[in-house]
Amino acid sequence: MPNKLSAKQKLILISAIVLGVAVFLLGGSILNLAHNKLELYRLAKKRTQLDAQYEQLLAEKKLLEEQDPKYMEMLARTRYHMVKPGEIEFRLPHD
């Protein structure tokens, strides 16, 4: 004689099946949503860094266009290791 399920057991079984199907169908979407949120956060952080770098480069461009003597001297000394006549350049090792 087959076992008959009570109304409560049928409701639990149907609920479990519906929940299983929902998780199966939406599980990938939920993971994609979480991944996209993390990617959006990473890209926003990167954009903030790039915006700051852009502003720095604009300021440097302005100084170069104006040919600011102090800035040009600083560039010559730091980037190209140039010295004035009679000066001696000392290079210290970095730790």
In tens, the pLDDT along 28-82 reads 777 888 899 999 999 999 999 999 999 999 998 998 899 888 888 988 888 888 9
Mean pLDDT of the chain: 88
Q: Is 75 exposed, middle or buried (0-12, 13-18, 19+ CB in 10 A)?
A: middle
Quote the pLDDT of residue 55: 97
C-alpha dist (Å) from residue 53 to 42, 47, 59: 17, 10, 10
Quote the pLDDT of residue 20: 83
